[in-house]
Amino acid sequence: MTVPTRVLLAADVAARDVGGAEHALATLDAVLPTGLSSYVASTHVVPGGRVAVAVSWAGAPSDEVDRVLAALPGVDLEGAGAREAAAQHADRSAGRLVRFAGRMRVERVLTVAEVLAGSVVDEVRELGVGVLPPEAVLDLTEWARPTWTDGRAVLLVHRAAAGLVPFESRHQIACCSAH
Protein backbone atom coordinates (compact mmCIF):
# COMPACT_ATOMS: atom_id res chain seq x y z
CA MET A 1 0.00 0.00 0.00
CA THR A 2 1.37 3.40 -0.99
CA VAL A 3 0.99 6.25 1.47
CA PRO A 4 0.11 9.48 -0.38
CA THR A 5 2.46 12.41 -0.14
CA ARG A 6 1.28 15.20 2.14
CA VAL A 7 1.84 18.61 0.57
CA LEU A 8 2.15 21.57 2.95
CA LEU A 9 2.49 25.17 1.80
CA ALA A 10 2.63 28.15 4.13
CA ALA A 11 2.89 31.85 3.36
CA ASP A 12 3.15 35.07 5.27
CA VAL A 13 0.59 37.07 3.32
CA ALA A 14 1.19 40.19 5.46
CA ALA A 15 -2.44 40.17 6.60
CA ARG A 16 -3.20 42.24 9.69
CA ASP A 17 -6.31 40.25 10.60
CA VAL A 18 -8.01 36.92 9.90
CA GLY A 19 -10.30 38.55 7.33
CA GLY A 20 -7.29 39.56 5.25
CA ALA A 21 -5.79 36.09 5.60
CA GLU A 22 -9.08 34.48 4.52
CA HIS A 23 -9.08 36.74 1.45
CA ALA A 24 -5.60 35.43 0.59
CA LEU A 25 -6.87 31.87 1.01
CA ALA A 26 -9.70 32.60 -1.41
CA THR A 27 -7.04 33.50 -3.99
CA LEU A 28 -5.20 30.26 -3.27
CA ASP A 29 -8.41 28.28 -3.63
CA ALA A 30 -8.48 29.23 -7.30
CA VAL A 31 -5.29 27.24 -7.96
CA LEU A 32 -5.28 24.56 -5.29
CA PRO A 33 -7.06 21.18 -5.38
CA THR A 34 -9.69 22.25 -2.80
CA GLY A 35 -12.11 19.48 -3.70
CA LEU A 36 -9.92 16.85 -2.06
CA SER A 37 -11.23 15.48 1.23
CA SER A 38 -7.73 15.89 2.67
CA TYR A 39 -7.53 19.64 1.87
CA VAL A 40 -7.11 21.83 4.95
CA ALA A 41 -6.45 25.58 4.98
CA SER A 42 -5.73 27.48 8.17
CA THR A 43 -4.80 30.94 9.42
CA HIS A 44 -2.06 31.48 11.99
CA VAL A 45 -1.13 34.48 14.12
CA VAL A 46 2.62 34.92 13.71
CA PRO A 47 5.22 37.26 15.24
CA GLY A 48 4.84 40.89 14.26
CA GLY A 49 1.06 40.96 14.63
CA ARG A 50 0.43 39.40 11.22
CA VAL A 51 -1.74 36.48 10.16
CA ALA A 52 -0.14 33.88 7.88
CA VAL A 53 -1.81 31.01 6.05
CA ALA A 54 -1.05 27.32 5.57
CA VAL A 55 -2.64 24.74 3.29
CA SER A 56 -2.12 21.01 3.04
CA TRP A 57 -3.51 18.08 1.09
CA ALA A 58 -2.65 14.49 0.25
CA GLY A 59 -1.37 14.01 -3.25
CA ALA A 60 1.41 14.71 -5.66
CA PRO A 61 2.96 18.14 -5.17
CA SER A 62 4.50 18.87 -8.58
CA ASP A 63 1.90 20.67 -10.71
CA GLU A 64 -0.11 22.09 -7.80
CA VAL A 65 2.95 23.62 -6.14
CA ASP A 66 4.14 25.23 -9.36
CA ARG A 67 0.70 26.81 -9.90
CA VAL A 68 0.53 28.04 -6.31
CA LEU A 69 3.96 29.63 -6.43
CA ALA A 70 3.10 31.37 -9.70
CA ALA A 71 -0.10 32.77 -8.13
CA LEU A 72 1.70 34.28 -5.13
CA PRO A 73 4.04 37.00 -6.36
CA GLY A 74 5.47 39.07 -3.52
CA VAL A 75 4.25 36.72 -0.78
CA ASP A 76 6.86 35.47 1.70
CA LEU A 77 7.05 31.69 1.48
CA GLU A 78 10.27 31.26 3.45
CA GLY A 79 10.34 33.88 6.22
CA ALA A 80 9.67 33.47 9.94
CA GLY A 81 5.90 33.92 9.57
CA ALA A 82 5.63 31.22 6.91
CA ARG A 83 7.82 28.84 8.90
CA GLU A 84 5.76 29.41 12.06
CA ALA A 85 2.48 28.80 10.21
CA ALA A 86 3.89 25.65 8.59
CA ALA A 87 5.06 24.26 11.95
CA GLN A 88 1.74 24.99 13.69
CA HIS A 89 -0.26 23.50 10.81
CA ALA A 90 1.94 20.39 10.56
CA ASP A 91 1.81 19.54 14.26
CA ARG A 92 -1.74 20.85 14.74
CA SER A 93 -0.68 22.91 17.73
CA ALA A 94 -2.34 26.19 16.72
CA GLY A 95 -4.23 27.76 13.85
CA ARG A 96 -7.78 28.40 12.78
CA LEU A 97 -9.28 26.07 10.16
CA VAL A 98 -10.93 27.97 7.33
CA ARG A 99 -11.29 25.16 4.79
CA PHE A 100 -11.63 21.56 5.91
CA ALA A 101 -13.40 18.36 4.96
CA GLY A 102 -17.07 18.54 5.86
CA ARG A 103 -17.23 22.31 6.41
CA MET A 104 -20.16 22.80 4.05
CA ARG A 105 -22.05 19.88 5.66
CA VAL A 106 -21.76 21.31 9.18
CA GLU A 107 -22.52 24.97 8.55
CA ARG A 108 -26.19 24.58 9.48
CA VAL A 109 -28.27 23.60 12.54
CA LEU A 110 -27.23 20.12 13.70
CA THR A 111 -26.08 18.06 16.68
CA VAL A 112 -22.57 17.62 18.02
CA ALA A 113 -22.71 13.98 16.86
CA GLU A 114 -23.47 15.13 13.29
CA VAL A 115 -20.54 17.59 13.36
CA LEU A 116 -18.16 14.88 14.53
CA ALA A 117 -19.44 12.34 11.99
CA GLY A 118 -19.56 14.74 9.04
CA SER A 119 -16.32 16.70 9.30
CA VAL A 120 -12.73 16.72 10.49
CA VAL A 121 -13.82 18.28 13.80
CA ASP A 122 -12.65 16.04 16.65
CA GLU A 123 -14.39 17.78 19.53
CA VAL A 124 -16.97 20.49 20.27
CA ARG A 125 -16.48 22.50 23.45
CA GLU A 126 -18.72 25.08 25.08
CA LEU A 127 -16.80 28.08 26.41
CA GLY A 128 -16.51 27.81 30.20
CA VAL A 129 -18.30 24.43 30.28
CA GLY A 130 -16.24 21.88 28.37
CA VAL A 131 -16.93 19.08 25.93
CA LEU A 132 -20.56 18.91 24.82
CA PRO A 133 -22.65 15.73 24.69
CA PRO A 134 -23.44 14.24 21.26
CA GLU A 135 -27.12 15.29 21.40
CA ALA A 136 -26.42 19.00 21.99
CA VAL A 137 -27.84 21.12 19.16
CA LEU A 138 -25.63 23.73 17.49
CA ASP A 139 -26.47 26.58 15.13
CA LEU A 140 -23.39 26.81 12.90
CA THR A 141 -25.33 28.39 10.05
CA GLU A 142 -22.80 29.47 7.43
CA TRP A 143 -19.91 29.71 9.89
CA ALA A 144 -17.63 27.15 11.54
CA ARG A 145 -13.98 27.85 12.36
CA PRO A 146 -12.45 25.11 14.53
CA THR A 147 -8.91 25.55 15.83
CA TRP A 148 -5.99 23.19 16.12
CA THR A 149 -5.59 22.43 19.83
CA ASP A 150 -3.21 19.72 21.07
CA GLY A 151 -3.32 17.91 17.72
CA ARG A 152 -7.12 17.97 17.46
CA ALA A 153 -9.61 20.10 15.53
CA VAL A 154 -11.72 21.71 18.26
CA LEU A 155 -14.83 23.79 17.60
CA LEU A 156 -15.52 26.29 20.37
CA VAL A 157 -19.12 27.43 20.88
CA HIS A 158 -21.00 29.57 23.42
CA ARG A 159 -24.59 30.14 24.49
CA ALA A 160 -26.47 32.98 22.81
CA ALA A 161 -30.09 33.91 22.20
CA ALA A 162 -30.10 31.46 19.26
CA GLY A 163 -28.71 28.62 21.42
CA LEU A 164 -25.21 27.19 20.99
CA VAL A 165 -23.39 29.18 18.28
CA PRO A 166 -19.75 29.45 17.18
CA PHE A 167 -17.60 31.43 19.60
CA GLU A 168 -16.12 33.30 16.66
CA SER A 169 -18.68 35.16 14.61
CA ARG A 170 -18.52 35.99 10.93
CA HIS A 171 -18.79 39.72 11.62
CA GLN A 172 -16.05 40.69 14.03
CA ILE A 173 -16.14 43.92 16.01
CA ALA A 174 -12.71 45.14 17.00
CA CYS A 175 -12.09 45.36 20.74
CA CYS A 176 -12.70 48.86 22.06
CA SER A 177 -14.19 49.96 18.72
CA ALA A 178 -16.78 52.15 20.42
CA HIS A 179 -14.24 54.47 22.00
Q: What is the DSSP string of 81-126?
A: HHHHHHHHHHHTSS-EEEE-TTHHHHSSEEEHHHHHHHSS--EEEE
DSSP structure class, residue 177: T
- Any residues with CB less than 8 A from the CB of 103 and at least 6 apart, and which? 97, 119, 144
Answer with the one of 58, 84, 99 that is the final residue of a domain. Answer: 99
Q: Within a domain: residue 114?
A: yes
Q: Is the pLDDT of residue 66 over 80?
A: no
Q: What are phi and psi of 84, to 5 degrees?
A: -65, -45
Closest to 17 in 3D by CA, of 174, 158, 154:
174
Q: Is residue 172, in this structure, part of any structural domain at all? A: no
H helix or E strand, kind and range, residue 66 = helix 62-71
Considering its fold, how many domains does the chain have in total? 2
My answer on whether 152 and 120 are in the same domain is yes
Q: How far is CA 14 from CA 30, 65, 110, 122, in A?
A: 19, 20, 36, 30
Q: Is residue 68 in some structural domain?
A: yes
- Domain of residue 150, residue span: 103-166
User: What are 109-166's pLDDT values in tens digits?
Assistant: 999 999 999 999 999 999 999 999 999 999 999 889 999 999 999 999 999 988 999 9
The residues facing 15 across adjacent strands are 51
Q: Give the tens place of pLDDT for each residue, 7-24.
A: 898 999 889 999 999 988
